[in-house]
Each structure stands twice: as C-alpha cells, then as structure tokens.
Chain A
Amino acid sequence: MKGSPEEIAEQVVRGDPAAVAGAISLVEDRRPSATARIVALLHALGPAARREQCQRVGITGPPGAGKSSLVSALAALVRASGRSIGVLAVDPSSPRSGGALLGDRTRIEIDPDDTKMYVRSMASGGDLGGLARAAAAAVDVLSAAFDVVLVETTGVGQSETDIEHVADSVVLVIQPASGDTVQFLKAGIIEIPHIFAVNKEDLGDVATRARTELQSALAQSIAGETWRPPIVSTSAKTGKGLAELLDAIDAHHRHLQKHALLGERRSKAAAVMALQLFARRYGEVGVERAGGGPALLARFREWIAAGATAVEAVARASKG
C-alpha cells in the first residue's frame, strides 16, 4: 500500500475499507524491512484504536460449534443497530504446506457498497496455533476504524486463550451434547469467557442439558467476581437468542466502562500478548536474555501504559 504510515492511519481512522485492507496487509508483512512501517502505522493508530467506545469482541469455541453462522448473524445484527463493524476470522494454517483455506465457513453476507462493514480472513500462520502477531495488530487496525470488532478464532490450541489478550469481551460458543463443558473445565478455559453461548438451541433437550451442566460448573468458578458470565441459548438457524447475545456483549462492555476496567484490562492484555509474541519469536533463550519473563512483562506494561501497542513494544524490546 502506497503512502506513509501516517497517511494510511489517517484513512483507516476515517473508516475507509480500502485503507483498512492495505493496513492489514502491511501488518501481515513479515519482512524485517517492514517492521519500522508497521510500528509507525500502529503508533499513529494508537489513540483511535484505544477508544473506549470501540468494542472488541472475541468469539471462540471448538470446531463445529457453529461459530461462523453465529458471527455472520451477529455481524448483521450489529450493523442493523447502526454501528460499523469489522470482522477478523482466523483459520488454522496447514502444518504440511503452510497454506490455508480461509473464509470457507465465514461467508458473511455483505452489501458490496456498505463501507461500514468489513470482513477479513487470516491464517494463524506458523505460530503454534496461537494468534499471529498480524492478528493482534489487525485487531488494532480494525479498532481504529470501526465501532465493533469481532474476532473469530477456531478454538483449538493456543488461540482460544490468546483471544483474551486481544478482546475486551470473550464469547465462548458451546455445542450441545459434545462434552465440551467437561473439557473446558479440565483445561481451565471456563474462566476466560465473559459470555457463554450455548448454540444450536433448535436441537431441544440436549441444548437445555448443556446449559444446565454449564450453570453448575460456573457456579463454582465465578464466586466473588463482579461480572457474572451470562449463559445465552442461541440458534443462528432460527435467529433465537441472537439479540440477547448482543445485549449481553453490550452489557459487558458497559460493565467494563462503568467500573473503569477497560483501560486496565486492555493494557494488561496487551502486555501479556506482547510477551507471548516476543517468546514465540525469540524463544525461551531470548526471553532469558532480555531479563526474564517477569521483568520483560513489567517493561511491556510500562511502555503500553505510555501509549505503545503490543507489537510496538515487541519491536522495541527486540532492539535492546
């Protein structure tokens, strides 16, 4: 994409989809020569990307839970409420070839002339199933451009825990009768989401059972928290529960704002994300050389509190 990073940033903030596309392609660029431009772009986007009104929503869950149809329906609903929306769908890369099939499950109906809606798919890349640096940076780009950002990740491996480092609100989509709940409990994942969507409500009894199971599991894990994660029964097929799900997402955002938690949550998350990105790039040895995990994290928090993005912080740490 032509133009200086600052010029691109200006167009992104104005919500120009072509500029958003160019900016995301830029942050995907892995060439060392691109790093300076990426950092400059993200820096210029910083203030807009940090706007408290922007809602960053992560949607995750196991394959087959129906996340894509849910995201698709939710995106339409957000758009219908008058807000602009950017969607990032992250799909796994093939370990054999490094290639990927994208967007296959996430065809979101989009009016080609609607500039207030944007959909991008991205491969998880070689980052061990976690969200790539590019994904974290793309969320920043989208946050600068749109009112709502939806990030969909396939809940396998690292990406379902990574999602909490880029999203303000995490929705976990559960498929009834899949044994998901038990698995999530075991993996400790149940503590991450702010909202649970028991999908495929149209399946009837099994969906009700999954809901009950989840309720009792949650009762134990959320004692003492100020936010009690709601469980919403949804069906992308019949449209049931979708408005309720969006309400829950909005309510969580208001909750974060009301208790002045949003800024804190974001900078904490960004620091952890930065540490992860750093560790993936330079390995354990690299982290040790940089002074060790805790020290590095403290440094990231400081920089981020002063206005840096996660990617920017990583770039800075790699220099010194």
Chain B
Amino acid sequence: MRTYSGHSTPKASNELYRQNLAKGQTGLSVAFDLPTQTGYDSDHALARGEVGRTGVPIGHLGDMRQLFDGIALGQMNTSMTINATAAWLFALYIAVAEEQGARPADLRGTTQNDIMKEYLSRGTYIFPPGPSLRLIADTVLYSVEHVPEWNPINICSYHLQEAGATPEQEVAYALSTAIAVLDTVRERGIAQANFDQVFGRISFFVNSSIRFVEEVCKERAFARLWDRLGRERYGVQDPKLRRLRYGVQVNSLGLTEAQPENNIARIVLETLGVTLSKSARCRALQLPAWNEALGLPRPWDQQLSLRIQQILAFETDLLEHEDLFDGSKVVEQRTSAIAEAAWAEVEAVLKRGGGVQAVESGYIKEQLVSSNAARVAAIERNEQIVVGVNRFVESAPSPLTTDGGADVILRVDPEAEREQVARLEAWRKSRDADAVGRAIEALVAAARGGENLMPASIAAAKAGVTTGEGADALRQVFGGYRAPTGVAGARTPSVDTTELEALRGKVAELARRLGRRPKILVGKPGLDGHSNGAEQIALRARDAGFEVVYEGIRVTPQQLARAAADEGVHLVGLSVLSGAHLELVREVMVRMKERGLEEVPVVAGGIIPETDAEELRRSGVKAVYTPKDFQITRILEDLVGYVEAAHAAA
C-alpha cells in the first residue's frame, strides 16, 4: 500500500515520504517531475513551469541524497515511476544506497522502465525505440547480476487503457512490449537459468476500469497468456516464475470533474476488479485521488485513497476466501474471449515485425487513437453513461467544491522552481569539473561501444553529472525521436449526427467567407505528453471540415508561435495537462504577439481549475475547456464563432 507522490523539491518530498511512512504506508512510490523524466536540467528552456510540478525534480546525486535523507534504502521498497531516464535514476539510487552503506544486493524496488508505452501514451520518451530497448535490456541484465531483488521493468498496460485501449488491446500490447524486451535480453546472450529469473522478475502495471466484472476477466486472461508465453515461447519450466505479477493503479480516465465526490464510488468499484479474484489478484495497489480531474491532490486526498485500501484489506472479508470465480461459466466465457482476442492481436503485432516496429510504424498508436475516438463518441451520444456528466447531471450545491474546485487542490509553490535552479547552479560550481568531463566521455564511449550502460552511469552519478548532462550524452549517440501521433491513420466512428452535419455546414460557410478552409493549430507546449485530448480534438476538427495542423507533443512556445505564423492559421488551441498551463499558455501568447499574431484567437484545454481559467481569460484566452466539456462537437462550434469574430474584426 502506497501512494504515488513527490513534488516541489527533494526536501519537501522527503518530508512527505517520512509522514506517509509514519501513517502506515509500507513502501515508497516516487513521482518525478517532467524535466527529470525527459532528461532535462531544471534550468532548460523546456523545463520552464514544469519543475517540481508532477513530481520531484532530481537533477543530480545531491538531490537523490536529500530525497532519501533519513530513510534507509537497504530496508526500503521503492517504486520509481521513471522510464526514459530509468537507467540514470537507478544509477543515482544505487550510488546513494552505497553512500548509506547498503549493498546493491539489499536493494528492493521497481523502476518502471517501460519506454515502449511512452511512445503510445505518456510521451516521456527521449530516444528512438531501438536504443530505448537497449537501455531496458541493460538495466535488466545489470540487475539480474548485481541487484537481484530489484524489478528492473514494470510493463505498463495502465497507460494504454488511459489512451483508450480496450481490455483486449491493453493485454495484447503489454505482452508485445514484454516480448520485445525478452527477445532482446535473450539475443544479448544469457544462460537459460538466468533468463528464467528475468522472466520471473518482469512485472506489469495494469489499469482497472469501472466495468469491474470485465476487469476480473481481463486479469485472469492476462495471467493465462503470460503463463502460456513463458511456457511456449521462452521454455520457462518453473510455473512459479510464470505467474503474472502485477500492480495496479485504478483508472483515472473515468474520473470526472463534474460531481467529483462520485469518484470515490468509482475508485472502490475499480479496486474490486483487481482484488476479487484471488487467482489473479494484484500484488500492489495504488488508488488515484477523488479530485484528480480538478488538479493536483493534496496529502488529505491521498490519505483518503490509502484508507479505502485499508478498509478493503482489514475490515472486509475479502482476503479470507479462495478464488470466488473458479467454476463460474460467465467469468470463464468472458475470460476466454478476451484471451483469444488479445492473443490474436499479439500475433498481428508480431506479423508486423514485433512491438518496436509496430510502434515505429504508428500501427499500435493508430489502434489506440481509434478506440479512444469510439469511446469519446459513445459518451457524447449518451450511449455510454457517465453519471453526473451525460446523465443525472443535476446536483445540490456541493460543500466540497464551492469555488469551482479551486479550493480543493494542491498549489505548487512557484518559489520551488527557483530554489531548485539555484541548487543546481550551486551543485555545478561545487563539483570537480574534470571528473565530470571524464565521466561524460566514458558514458558516451559506453553508449557507442554497446557495453552495458549501468556501470558508466553509476560512475557518472558519483562524479556529479547532472540528469540533463547524462541524457545529453546519450542523445549525442542515440539521437532524438518523435513518435507517430497516430492521428492521420486513425479511424473515427461515424459520428455523423445531425449536430456534426450542422457543424460541417457552418464550417463550409465559414470557409466560403474566409476564402479558404478554416485552419487551426492544435499544440501541446511544454513537456506534458498526455495527448488524448489534443488527438481527439484534432480528429473531430478534421471530420468537421477544419484543416488541422497537429505536430504532436513537446513543442516549445517559440516553435508553436512560429508554426502558427508560417502555417497561416486562423486559431490556436493549446492543451496542457501537467498543471503548467498558466506559464505555458501565456508564453505562447507572448511569442505570438511578437510575431504580430495577437489577433489570432487562442483557446486552451486541460486540467485547469476555475480560478486559473479566469486568469487565462483575463489575459486574452477566448475559452478554457476542462474534462467536463466532453462534447467535442460543441467545442468546435465555439471555435467557428471565434474565427468568425476575428475575421469580422479584421
């Protein structure tokens, strides 16, 4: 039982961890900020506004030391949600543990290290898929030898469901990643006995949605397929090593901004899906906070999530029984159906050359974007009921969210970023520059040479190399990457409702008046990689008759302003979910003004509290859309109005 946490600075996070441990939490789950996740130092241009926001910034050994100050790593179980820079953070962790006197063999915990899903969902990748797979294999092989109790990779299907995956797709694509990793490890040359251990060490991080009976079946199907894969493809003999080990974060996608208290019921039901069935029960569980759709949860919100788990484990009789579903016809039927469909999709991926190729070609992303488009359309058409959103929307005044929710979320202290940058500057001055230079050279050489990167990373961590410098060294060798957005190839459900038809008419009429089709730029400034919203807007706008320029994630405000100018767009829509919306949206507008684009209307979307929305509108943003604005067609109707007004004024 743990809560995913970390924020502001290493010092503030350290205090939070100590409090949580005192409340009965049994391990730590570290959330890192986006610059750390994407390999930038806190003072990098792309890091602006993002430092300490989604998690703790760890820029160097000193930060890691402070994060675990007074926490004995030799006795702790630490889960680190880190991917593209997993090898680096693992190296920093080992270095700090050694300073504390712990041996690597004593260390227990997990690095998420599933870079494949980053290309499909979270977007915090750095390098192309090939080198990313190598980094994964390096950490896997290193830990098998030196840190045997560590889970070097935690393959996430969680984020696939957040990106719209059906249960079948969720299982299939997670297995495809596992196959890519295992095949790579095997090709690197490893004894079968060691390989069996690697197989047994692989764990998964799964999602659980509100359809909890289906979730029960999905986990059973998943366990079945994992066992089969171990047996058939990899010849793992020991059935214990073929057991599916998985942790869960229950679904955030289904949590609503409207009537957020309803989310407590959703979280409990979603938890049942992964705990009811003893033969496919999760080994670790973390729950989101009820107010996630409003902003960053406070410690009190996280405490509530922890208490839900404690009630389930200690008050109910859930853990007293054998499996409840063995022998159930209904469950067996649904389980088999999911297993069959998922396996067929695994084979489809293998036929395309495997997980890496299916990511590079955009195939998997297109499947996910298509599924999500279907889901979004079903909610819009009221075919999929979401209580408080498209049905039963009336509500008595809420005592919880009197101020549009702005009063029930955590605010990141804007001073934290400055403090962190100052710390970084001091760190750079205090270290031995020659040793740092040599360590970076050694890291580059290791990357070029193909040897395991972990020893050079640990040496670099000890020498005082920063997170940004370490990532840059690898960028030099591996190059950067841009994942396919999947948007152009995605299928959209035929949402040819009268509403959309009417909108098309309006867009065509607007086109006639403008002399060309209305053209919009959909942009994701900053480091946030959650692109579901932007993708769905882009797709529907195309279907409504707009010309849409969408360049994917991680674009700087300067680049967006330049693209808006070069492309001659009529409107700019910005999507930010990291919480850095105030800084980023304003920055884009300043840059647009510099280019004489102050007349081009700007709208923003994201998890934006009402008070911030008001501030944005005051600085000239035409409209702010949040998760409660689920009717995309209506949003697009607004856009027609803004373009029309701007045209009339010109």
Knowing A29-B515, A102-B549, A121-B549 touch, does A97 contact B542 (C-beta < 8 A)? Answer: yes
| Contact, CB under 8 Å: A104 / B551 | yes
Q: Residues 2-18 of chain A: 1 if any B CB is under 8 Å from the residue's CB, otherwise 0?
A: 00000000000000011
Of the candidates A100, A112, A120, which one forms a contact with B548 in the assembled complex, judged by CB atoms under 8 Å apart? Answer: A100
The interface-forming segment of B109-117, B192-200, B459-467, B559-567 is: B559-567
Q: How far is the CA of A190 from the CA of B504 in the complex (A)?
A: 40
Is B531 an interface position by the 8 A CB rule? no
Hey, which chain B residues are within 8 Å of A237, CB to CB?
Answer: 128
Residues facing A in B510-566 (CB within 8 A) are 511-512, 514-517, 519, 538-539, 541-552, 556, 558-559, 561-563, 565-566
| Contact, CB under 8 Å: B565 / A18 | yes
| Contact, CB under 8 Å: A120 / B542 | no
| Contact, CB under 8 Å: B558 / A98 | no
Q: How far is the CA of A22 from the CA of B597 in the complex (A)?
A: 12
Of the candidates A20, A28, A64, A104, which one forms a contact with B515 in the assembled complex, judged by CB atoms under 8 Å apart? Answer: A28
| Contact, CB under 8 Å: B482 / A118 | no
Give the interface centre of A31, A97, A98 by most chain B CB atoms within 10 Å: A97
Of the candidates B517, B546, B568, which one forms a contact with A21 in the assembled complex, judged by CB atoms under 8 Å apart? Answer: B568
Hey, which chain A residues are within 8 Å of B488, CB to CB?
Answer: 91, 101, 104-105
Is B595 an interface position by the 8 A CB rule? yes
Residues facing B in A62-117 (CB within 8 A) are 64, 91, 93-94, 96-105, 107, 110, 112-113
Is B485 an interface position by the 8 A CB rule? yes
Is B254 an interface position by the 8 A CB rule? no
Question: Please, which residue of chain A has its CB at the minimum distance from the CB of B560?
Answer: A112
Hey, which chain B residues are within 8 Å of A31, CB to CB?
Answer: 512, 515
Give the interface centre of B542, B556, B559 by most chain A CB atoms within 10 Å: B542
Closest Cβ–Cβ distance, residue A195 to chain B (whole Å): 25
| Contact, CB under 8 Å: A101 / B487 | yes
| Contact, CB under 8 Å: B551 / A98 | no
Closest Cβ–Cβ distance, residue B512 to chain A (whole Å): 8
| Contact, CB under 8 Å: B595 / A102 | no
Is B404 an interface position by the 8 A CB rule? no
Is A34 an interface position by the 8 A CB rule? yes
Q: How far is the CA of A100 from the CA of B541 in the complex (A)?
A: 9
Question: Please, which residue of chain A has its CB at the minimum distance from the CB of B482?
Answer: A107
Is B596 an interface position by the 8 A CB rule? yes
| Contact, CB under 8 Å: A30 / B487 | no
| Contact, CB under 8 Å: B547 / A123 | yes
Hey, which chain A residues are within 8 Å of B512, CB to CB?
Answer: 31
Closest Cβ–Cβ distance, residue A37 to chain B (whole Å): 10
Is B442 an interface position by the 8 A CB rule? no
| Contact, CB under 8 Å: B568 / A112 | no
Closest Cβ–Cβ distance, residue A107 to chain B (whole Å): 5
Residues facing B in A282-307 (CB within 8 A) are none
Q: Residues 579-618 of chain B: 1 if any A CB is under 8 Å from the residue's CB, otherwise 0?
A: 0000000000001000110000000000000000000000
Of the candidates A18, A103, A134, which one forms a contact with B551 in the assembled complex, judged by CB atoms under 8 Å apart? Answer: A103
Hey, which chain A residues are within 8 Å of B485, CB to CB?
Answer: 104
* Total number of A residues with any Cβ neighbor in B under 8 Å: 37
Is B16 an interface position by the 8 A CB rule? no
| Contact, CB under 8 Å: B548 / A110 | no
Closest Cβ–Cβ distance, residue A110 to chain B (whole Å): 7
Hey, which chain B residues are within 8 Å of A18, CB to CB?
Answer: 565, 595-596
Knowing A28-B516, A110-B559, A123-B517 touch, does A102 contact B566 (C-beta < 8 A)? Answer: no
Is A311 an interface position by the 8 A CB rule? no
Hey, which chain B residues are within 8 Å of A93, CB to CB?
Answer: 547
Is A119 an interface position by the 8 A CB rule? yes
Is A25 an interface position by the 8 A CB rule? yes
Hey, which chain A residues are within 8 Å of B544, CB to CB?
Answer: 97, 99
| Contact, CB under 8 Å: A21 / B565 | yes
Question: Please, which residue of chain A has its CB at the minimum distance from the CB of B360?
Answer: A237
Question: Please, which residue of chain B has its CB at the minimum distance from the CB of A32?
Answer: B515
Closest Cβ–Cβ distance, residue B510 to chain A (whole Å): 12
Q: How far is the CA of A311 from the CA of B514 in the complex (A)?
A: 20
Hey, which chain B residues are within 8 Å of A120, CB to CB?
Answer: 566-568
Residues facing A in B127-175 (CB within 8 A) are 128
Q: How far is the CA of A120 from the CA of B566 in the complex (A)?
A: 6
| Contact, CB under 8 Å: B545 / A104 | no
| Contact, CB under 8 Å: A34 / B596 | no
Question: Please, which residue of chain A has its CB at the minimum distance from the CB of B513?
Answer: A31
| Contact, CB under 8 Å: A101 / B550 | yes
| Contact, CB under 8 Å: B543 / A25 | no
| Contact, CB under 8 Å: A112 / B543 | no
| Contact, CB under 8 Å: B542 / A100 | yes
Q: How far is the CA of A237 from the CA of B108 in the complex (A)?
A: 38
Is B409 an interface position by the 8 A CB rule? no
| Contact, CB under 8 Å: B566 / A104 | no
| Contact, CB under 8 Å: B487 / A94 | no
Is A24 an interface position by the 8 A CB rule? yes
Q: How far is the CA of A102 from the CA of B511 in the complex (A)?
A: 17
Hey, which chain B residues are within 8 Å of A30, CB to CB?
Answer: 515-516
Closest Cβ–Cβ distance, residue A108 to chain B (whole Å): 9
Of the candidates B508, B519, B556, B559, which one forms a contact with A98 in the assembled complex, judged by CB atoms under 8 Å apart? Answer: B508
Hey, which chain A residues are within 8 Å of B519, CB to CB?
Answer: 102
Knowing A18-B596, A30-B516, A98-B517 touch, does A112 contact B550 (C-beta < 8 A)? Answer: no
Closest Cβ–Cβ distance, residue A125 to chain B (whole Å): 8
Closest Cβ–Cβ distance, residue A122 to chain B (whole Å): 8
| Contact, CB under 8 Å: A107 / B545 | no
| Contact, CB under 8 Å: A107 / B552 | yes
Question: Please, which residue of chain B has its CB at the minimum distance from the CB of A105?
Answer: B488
| Contact, CB under 8 Å: B543 / A99 | yes
Question: Please, which residue of chain B has its CB at the minimum distance from the CB of A239?
Answer: B479
Q: How far is the CA of A102 from the CA of B565 in the complex (A)?
A: 15
Closest Cβ–Cβ distance, residue B475 to chain A (whole Å): 13
Of the candidates A17, A98, A104, A112, which one forms a contact with B487 in the assembled complex, judged by CB atoms under 8 Å apart? Answer: A104
Q: How far is the CA of A294 from the CA of B488 in the complex (A)?
A: 40
Hey, which chain A residues are within 8 Å of B562, CB to CB?
Answer: 110, 112
Hey, which chain B residues are within 8 Å of A98, CB to CB?
Answer: 504, 507-508, 511, 517, 545
Hey, which chain A residues are within 8 Å of B543, CB to CB?
Answer: 94, 96-97, 99
Of the candidates A97, A103, A123, which one forms a contact with B504 in the assembled complex, judged by CB atoms under 8 Å apart? Answer: A97
Of the candidates A29, A101, A107, which one forms a contact with B538 in the assembled complex, judged by CB atoms under 8 Å apart? Answer: A101
Q: How far is the CA of A21 from the CA of B567 in the complex (A)?
A: 7
Question: Please, which residue of chain B has its CB at the minimum distance from the CB of A202?
Answer: B130
Q: How far is the CA of A279 from the CA of B547 in the complex (A)?
A: 25
| Contact, CB under 8 Å: B550 / A103 | yes
Q: How far is the CA of A93 from the CA of B559 in the complex (A)?
A: 25
Identify 30 residue pairs between A and B in the complex whose beta-carbon atoms are under 8 Å apart, listed by A's number: A18-B565, A20-B566, A21-B565, A21-B566, A24-B568, A28-B515, A29-B514, A29-B515, A29-B516, A34-B515, A91-B488, A97-B504, A97-B507, A97-B544, A98-B504, A98-B507, A98-B511, A99-B547, A100-B542, A101-B542, A101-B548, A103-B550, A104-B552, A105-B484, A105-B488, A107-B482, A107-B552, A110-B559, A120-B567, A121-B567
Closest 10 CB pairs of A and B: A29-B515, A112-B558, A25-B568, A112-B562, A31-B515, A99-B542, A28-B516, A99-B545, A97-B545, A104-B488
Residues of chain A at the chain B interface (Cβ within 8 Å)? 17-18, 20-22, 24-25, 28-31, 34, 64, 91, 93-94, 96-105, 107, 110, 112-113, 118-121, 123, 134, 237
Residues of chain B at the chain A interface (Cβ within 8 Å)? 128, 361, 482, 484-485, 487-488, 504, 507-508, 511-512, 514-517, 519, 538-539, 541-552, 556, 558-559, 561-563, 565-568, 591, 595-596
* Given A107-B552, A120-B566, 14 new contacts (CB under 8 A): A29-B516, A93-B547, A94-B543, A96-B543, A98-B508, A99-B517, A99-B547, A100-B517, A100-B548, A101-B488, A102-B547, A104-B552, A113-B558, A123-B547
